[in-house]
Every structure is written in structure tokens, then in C-alpha cells.
Amino acid sequence: MADPTPGSRRRSGESAPQVFWETKLAVDFMRWRQLTLILSTLLVVASLALLGVRGLNFGLDFTGGTLVEVHFPEPADPQAVRLGLEAQGYGDLVVQNFGTARDVLVRVPPDVVGETATVGDVILEALRADYGDQVALRRSEFVGPAVGEELREQGGLAMLAALSLVMVYIMFRFTGKFALSAVIALVHDVIITLGAFSLFRWSFDLPSLAAVLAVIGYSLNDTIVVADRIRENFRALRRAEPIAVINQAISQSFGRSEAGP
């Protein structure tokens, strides 16, 4: 770690700036930059390959399906109902209580059972095999996707526009290099997150989309915080090595809520 003393020399009568981390110990994060760069590259490439080959397991919010409401004679546990249906070969179902503990709503993807008109009867027979003939079918109806193809395309365009605006904002506030790095970090985090969804075949629905947007928000916030500390530290310590300044900035971001000396 570079000695910050040379950078603190000022003309006579000029006050030295308050630098928070001058009394703090910085972690040498940049020591592992080559290893983490290789790891990140491999994860991004693997995620893109998974998305290209397997794609995402879109939930009912994107694909639509059939809504089946059944009534049980006794309070039913949605988790146990879902596991029982999966044991009979009906996977990717969404099971939840509807109104009371005895009423259960089953959302069935379009390709799980077959004909839409017979989905309710098939699910009812499967439930009666586990819970008896007193299980009654209340309704069975087809529901369209909450997010259509046009809305998905508009959402993708909106995300690209947002990334462009973020890049312009950071370019004006910091420099072009910071802006490019921020966008690369955002794309990196989103691709790896979507790759995990593809690898583990997690259902990608509206809550999952909201989680991805949250990842983008946290990633952008952390990027701006670290970039701001790097800029301030370069101004305070002009003679310090860039690697040392970056290490100090990252270390400082972990305790940015602390008071200065």
C-alpha cells in the first residue's frame, strides 16, 4: 500500500483535505483482479451458453396456463399438495390457499396436462387419489400470460434505454471509463443471475423479474459509491499509486457510514 504522506504535502497555509481512510487499513482487493477477471469471464460465458441452449424456465406470468380451484374437507397445506402432485408427474405447478385454508388454487402451465378443457378433471383426480373423493372442483379456467410478448420486448428496450442513460449520467459525473465500467458491471451481474435461473431451472416469473431489477439497482449503487470514493481519493492523493487508491476506495466503501476522524 502506497504511503499517503507525499500526497498530503500542501503549500504553506493551505489546509489538508479530510481523508477518511488515512487512519484505516486497506484490503488489497486488486491483488486478485486477474483471478476474479478470469472467473467472471468464465461465469458470463457459461451463463450465455446456458441461456442459449436451455433458456429460461418461464413461469405462468409469462406463459399463461390453467387456473384450477378445489375445495378440501379439511385445511390443506399448499406445499404438501404441490409435492403430492409432483410425485404423480405434474411439475412446475403453483399451489396456494385461496380465501380459506380449505380452498386451494392450482396454477397449471399449458404443457403439463394437455388439453385445456380436461386440466381441471385431471388435477381433481390426482388430488382425490391422495385426499379422497370429498375433494371438490370449484372452477377451472384458462388464464393468459400476465406479461405478453409485446410487453417483454418493450421491457427489453426499456432496459437498454436505462443502461444508456446510466452510462451518459456516469460519463458526465465521472469519466467515460467509469461509465463503461458501470454498464459492464450491470450486464455482468444480470447475465450471471439469469444463468443461475437457467442452470437450476428456477421458475422465472414476475417476482423473479423484480429481483433482477433489484440486482441492477444494488449493482449500480455500489458502482457509483466506489467510483465516487476513487475520484475523491485521487484528488486527495495525487502521488499515490492507482492500485493503492482503488484498494483504499473499495475498503472505504464497506464502512462509508462511519464518521471521519
Handedness of CA 64, 65, 67, 73 (dihedral sign): negative
pTM: 0.70
Residue 115: its pLDDT value, please?
66
Closest CA to 238 of 11, 1, 30, 9: 9
Q: What is the pLDDT of residue 92?
A: 77
Q: Which CATH class is domain 65-143?
A: alpha beta
Mean pLDDT of 14-30: 56
pLDDT band, very low/low/confident/very high, at 1 (cuts 50, 70, 90): very low
Three-state DSSP at 218 gives helix
Give the residue with greater pLDDT, 239 vs 136: 136
What's the average model confidence in pLDDT over 55-64? Answer: 81
Could you tell me whether strands 100-108 and 65-71 are parallel, antiparallel, or unpaired per DSSP bridges?
Answer: antiparallel
The reported pLDDT for the residue numbered 119 is 84
When pLDDT is averaged across residues 207-218 and rounded to a whole number, the result is 86
DSSP structure class, residue 237: -
Q: Which residue has the higher pLDDT, 78 or 154?
A: 78
Lowest mean pLDDT among 54-63, 106-115, 136-145, 170-179: 106-115
Select, from the ranges 9-13, 14-18, 80-84, 142-146, the one with the highest average predicted confidence (pLDDT): 80-84
Sequence-ordered list of residues with C-beta below 8 angstroms from that of 223, at least 6 positions apart, any chain: 170, 181, 182, 185, 186
Instruction: Please state the rounded mean pLDDT for residues 26-38.
Output: 89
What is the mean pLDDT of the segment spanning 81-87? 91
Q: What are phi and psi of 35, to 5 degrees?
A: -65, -45
Residue 37 near residue 114 (C-beta atoms within 8 A): no
- Give me the pLDDT at residue 145, please: 75
Q: Which residue has the cell 378445489?
A: 70
Task: Work out the pLDDT band at 50, boundaries 50, 70, 90.
Answer: very high
Q: What is the pLDDT of residues 153-190, one digit of tens each?
A: 777 787 788 778 888 888 888 878 888 888 888 899 99
What is the domain partition of the chain in residue ranges? Answer: 21-57+149-254, 65-143
Average pLDDT over residues 192-208: 89
Mean pLDDT, the chain, whole residue set:
81
Q: What is the DSSP string of 66-91?
A: EEEEEE-SS---HHHHHHHHHHTT--
pLDDT above 50 for 146: yes
What is the SS3 string spanning 155-197?
A: HHHHHHHHHHHHHHHHHHHCCHHHHHHHHHHHHHHHHHHHHHH
Check pLDDT > 60 for residue 206: yes
| Position 240 pLDDT exceeds 90 | no
Compute the radius of gyration of the chain from its Cα atoms. 27
Residue 226 and residue 31: Cα distance in Å, rounded? Answer: 17
